[in-house]
Amino acid sequence: MSRAPSAIVIGLGAVGSACAAALASVGCRVTAIGDPRRSTTRRSGGYLLLQSKFPGPLLDLAARSLELFDDLAREAPHLGYRRTGSLLLAADESEAARLHVRVRALRQAGVPLQWLDGDTLRRIQPGLSTAVDAGSFCPLDGQIEPSALAEHWRHVLLKRGGQIVESPLSELDAEPAGGFRAVGPEVDVRGELVVLAGGPWSPPLAANLGLTLDIQPRRGWLFRAVADRPIASCPLLGGDYLAAKSSTRAYEVAFNLQQFSSGEVVLGGTREFVGFSEAGGEEARREVLRVAARYVEGLDRLEWDSGAAGFRPWAPCPYLGRTEVAGCYLACGFEGDGVTLSAAAAERIAMQVVEDGLTTA
Ligand SMILES: Cc1cc2nc3c(=O)[nH]c(=O)nc-3n(C[C@H](O)[C@H](O)[C@H](O)COP(=O)(O)OP(=O)(O)OC[C@H]3O[C@@H](n4cnc5c(N)ncnc54)[C@H](O)[C@@H]3O)c2cc1C
């Protein structure tokens, strides 16, 4: 192919923006499209965790993303990226036993986890409750500000000559002569290739191309407050977080807490299959604070906001890469890991596009 191919990227969240920037860097002329009313990334936490993964391909992808974030943070220090480490906490013996099994499995996979007792944990993190009697520390983990990250990649895309269109899409079609066409009130664009990164809204767009995706919105509430003291020097998670994440029950709640350098603390969270409903924030806040009290003291004394519900794109397994429709690539279904996996997912898509001979790179 002798000239730059045109690419449509659907999605301006962390994943879509990363893919758009990556495609522009391998020589595509990219138009990235997003509906400004829809975004999981804007309502996301910013944990970048290895110790919340099972050994296997997603753990490897997360580790690669963290390496890419190290490089990114050097050119963009405003993203709030820090390798703070993360703590998974056990507030009773059975939680500790389950956590310890995972620690052994992850250590065998090369993740350098440290197993700490309650007193050591309280020395590192003074506000922890006296019930916390063990926990694992992953020094490789980190955090980032998700909206700033997505915005940064959109900025990179523009610098590399790409375009951004804010519009819902009503149609995405494969053209009879090859390539794709995306149509919405503010856009009518053709591309030789398309990347679908529409988060939990991906299935109807994929269906237009004859692809069936098993992605469902999994609601999560996050609550924010400003604290005038350090509460979480790194992401803190309850030992039950892993079970909640991997379960498919209609309702789960598990403790997680993050603090940014501004002092802002972000507390979660629920995992609920309730479609795109945003009802029930008050009840969710009570429940999240009740669970959080097992791990950290005094959180109920902060002034929490009324919360925001985001919709994780749940799938049995993420959809990443080329499809049976030539020129169509998927980057969706990352549930609670899309921010973490975005950098490596985008790298994978760009590599496949190059391998498939669709670019000049
Ligand atoms: C409460 C909560 C906490 C989380 N915490 C973390 C965390 O700590 N770490 C982590 O890694 N992940 C976390 N996640 C998960 C993470 O937020 C998601 O996996 C990630 O945001 C998905 O990014 P995305 O780009 O795939 O989707 P989105 O951010 O949802 O972006 C989808 C894009 O597609 C566009 N789009 C969809 N349909 C259309 C259409 N028809 N027309 C035009 N545009 C369309 C949307 O407008 C949007 O731009 C959390 C999620 C929630 C809800």
State pLDDT tens for residues 264-308.
999 999 999 999 999 999 999 999 999 999 999 999 999 999 999
pTM over 0.85: yes
Please report the sign of the dihedral spanned by the C-alpha atoms of residue 137, residue 141, residue 142, residue 143: negative
- Residue 2 has what pLDDT? 47
Q: Which residue owns the Cα nearest ligand 1 atom 14?
A: 336
CA atoms of 90 and 77, how far apart (whole Å): 33
Strand boundaries in 227-304, DSSP class E: 236-238, 251-259, 264-272
What is the CATH number assigned to the segment(s) 86-139+216-314? Answer: 3.30.9.10
Q: Where are the domains of the chain?
A: 6-44+146-215+316-355, 86-139+216-314
The rounded Å distance from CA 39 to ligand 1 centre is 5
Structure tokens at 140: 């490789």
Each residue's pLDDT tens digit, 185-224: 999 999 999 999 999 999 999 999 999 999 999 999 999 9
The domain defined by 6-44+146-215+316-355 folds into FAD/NAD(P)-binding domain (3.50.50)
Each residue's pLDDT tens digit, 109-165: 999 999 999 999 999 999 999 999 999 999 999 999 999 999 999 999 999 999 999
DSSP state of 276: B
Query: 41, 222, 265, 317: which to mutate for ligand 1, most atoms within 8 A of CB?
Result: 41
Between 2 and 135, the higher pLDDT residue: 135
Atom nearest to 15 CA in ligand 1: 25
Structure tokens at 198: 């529409």
- Residue 360 has what pLDDT? 59
Q: Is the model's pLDDT at 1 over the cut of 60?
A: no
Distance of CA 152 to CAs 21, 25, 198, 224, Å?
9, 14, 18, 23
Atom nearest to 331 CA in ligand 1: 26
- Which residues does ligand 1 sit against, CB inside 6 Å? 10-16, 33-35, 38-41, 43-47, 168-169, 197-199, 201, 205, 220, 222, 268-269, 310-313, 332, 334, 336-340
CA angle 59, 65, 67 (to 5 degrees): 110
Helix 338-355 and helix 146-159, axial crossing angle in degrees, nearest 10:
30
Burial of 253 by CB count in 10 Å (0-12 exposed, 13-18 middle, 19+ buried)?
A: buried
> pLDDT-based confidence at 358, cuts 50/70/90?
confident
